[in-house]
Chains A and B, each alone.
Chain A
Amino acid sequence: MTSLLDHRLRPAVAVPLLVLLALVPTIAGALGEDFYVGVASRVLVFALAAASLNLVLGFGGMVSFGHAAFVGVGAYTVGILMQEAGTTSAWVAWPLAFVAGGLFACVVGLVSLRTQGVYFIMITLAFAQMLYYLMVSLKAYGGEDGLPLPARSQVGLGIDLADDAHFYYVVLAVFALVFLALWRLLNARFGHALQGIRENETRMEAIGFPVYRYKLAAFTLAGAIAALAGALLANQGSFVSPAMLQWSQSGMLLVMVILGGVGHLYGPLAGAALFLLLEEVLVAYTIHWQFGLGAVLLAVVLLAPNGLLSLARRKGAAA
């Protein structure tokens, strides 16, 4: 029996979507627009990062303004391993990035989750800024100029990530797996408890749930997933820089989540796609594309505060 806290996978939507996504390289190749396979990879990577933010924000109700820091942790893990240890294997670097992100998120969460409201926002921002300035100061890893990667990670099994299409399939596979895992998690006890905490923390505390521990667990997992997205992002551009950690990047992630729909399973994918495609398409017509983005965002905040997908839900759902 499904409850209000459940999020259906909707195979009627999921399967055609997966098929369409899988066909992107083929379609792009046929049109001679191979460049757009790279764009699609970026959309999926950011959708992954946005999904992790959605976990804590949409389902957990925690407004984290430093999420870009976790993405940066993952990206720098890959970069530093490649430079210091010569590690090119994705099987080593990417799980390490995942773990590093989780550890950093756990530390940040331990301190921040003791606070509430605007102080939580400021502390998460502060941690992200501290990490940003740290990476700027480390000239050994490029500092402000960034760290170019000599090549993308290696997966073996006959897959060459240097090929944009292969890289896209790997990113799609990772995204799909994480997406499914999140779906299972949200419909299980953990997900229900998390959403309950979002709705009314005091009540959950009173019932006997260890609220702090649930929030910390969600925060840690979100950080780990964001770091995995960061590892993929580093590979996508073959470049890591402190710019990935700036607070404006955290802001952009928040924008993606809200555009797509806070607390919706498919929200992050919709939001990331809308955001990056707006950028890609508009930038060809005008350098002032961020004005359009700002206008859309403001409209969403004022008119559809729960994101675009909530408009669909409003139409279909009962009262």
Chain B
Amino acid sequence: MSKPPAPLRLAVVATAALCLAATAQAADKVKIGLLSTLSGPGAGLGVDIRDAFQLAVKQNGGKLGGLPAELIVADDQQSPDAAKQTADRMVKRDKVDFMTGIVFSNVMLAVGQPVFQSKTFYISANAGPSQLAGAQCNPYFFSASYQNDNQHEAAGQTAQDKGARKVALLAPNYPAGKDALAGFKRYFKGEVALEMYTPLSQLDYGAELSKMRASGADAVYIFLPGGLGVNFIKQFVGTGLSKDMTLYGPGFSADEDVIRAVGEPMLGMFNTSQWAHDLDNAANKRFVADFQKEYGRLPTLYASQGYDAARLIDAAVRDVKGNLADKQGLRRALKAAKFDSVRGPFRFGPNQFPIQDYYLRVITKDSQGRITNRTVAPIFKNHGDAYASECKMPA
């Protein structure tokens, strides 16, 4: 082999890194650890987050906050075990300055410990578990996306407004699934005929569909992200239940990735989200156009969150003038969130989760004949989360 042996090269790089770390001035680059789900049924979500994050960096000329950005991308395999080890590696060996990317909340809760202990900032591009919004809130965690309950709260309100009387609920059995149904029930005042949780790995919903049929519900609410949602909706249509029951879902189960896989049967489905690609502001128009040009597809809400996470980091690093060692300053800059979000005005609550608007969307054919979401109306304005009061974090 012509290359010098790995330990020697590591030694050289490490020595150089040590020298650089010793200075308290502006660092010469900002390292981001992007750990996301890039394989399995949830892969589409992680890929969108990664692609949008990279787009933001590219639009900035390969920089974030004026410093050259080095993005270290890794696959968490949707396994809390594997993710924890990879996060450990990113924080201890690669010494990243920021971490982001995780899609699933169970993975997020496992990864939290090594990241927060090492005083590395985590900017969430998706997962927003209730634990981290409430009692276990941490100054190093910022959610650039939402709190898990939010979209489901909006959906509960929608189901209530549209007159659903008896609802069957289905979500995967993990922290975000529980947050989801808790959020839905907080705003839906009708009868819950059935509340079911399935393993995250389960793709065949035959048993659950039988029980739904037997329950006599007139509406079904699902939280099944990515490939799970695709499978459920196809099977739901296959059993013929779609004729008797209205299907409601959060934006997660009704975005571009699911629409691409399922297609026509989804027309007319109501769903809720804090973002849609037809939101009318300059940042969003630019984002959607550039994303389409770069990747040849419409972005999902996951992409919008990844994009915003990158721009939040960009604004914060610029604010501290590249002095990444100044953790207090970075935190203040992050809290200030002085960037143009694709959602419009963006601000954090006291627990570092967003306070934002949530919209009702419906799946229709647009002017170009594509099947996609159309924003109907806002459901909540300036909506925070239900756990902020439980968070006792130093300001």
Contact = CB atoms under 8 A, between A and B. Distances in A.
B93 A239 contact: no
Nearest to B38: A287
Interface string B47-73: 000000000000000000000000000
Contacts of A136: 199
Interface of B is mostly: helix
Nearest to A136: B199
Interface in A120-140: 136, 139
B113 interface: yes
A173 to B, nearest CB: 23
Contacts of B106: 144-146
B88 interface: yes
Contact of B175 (A35, A36, A145, A239): A145
Nearest to B106: A145
Contacts of B82: 243
A38 to B, nearest CB: 7
B83 to A, nearest CB: 10
A238 B79 CA distance: 15
Interface string B123-148: 00000000000000000000000000
Nearest to A37: B92
Interface string B10-23: 11001101100000
Contacts of B6: 281
Interface of A is mostly: helix
Interface string B76-104: 00011110110011001100000000000
Contact of A33 (B75, B93, B110): B93
A201 interface: no
Contacts of B10: 31, 33
Interface of A: 31-36, 38, 136, 139, 143-146, 148, 237-239, 241, 243-244, 281, 287
Which 5 residue pairs of A and B lie closest in terms of their CB atoms, listed nearest first?
Answer: A35-B93, A32-B14, A145-B106, A35-B92, A243-B81
Interface of B: 6-7, 10-11, 14-15, 17-18, 75, 79-82, 84-85, 88-89, 92-93, 106, 109-110, 113-114, 173-175, 199-200
18 contacts: A31-B14, A32-B14, A33-B10, A33-B14, A33-B93, A136-B199, A144-B174, A144-B200, A145-B80, A145-B174, A146-B80, A146-B81, A146-B106, A148-B110, A148-B113, A237-B85, A238-B114, A239-B110
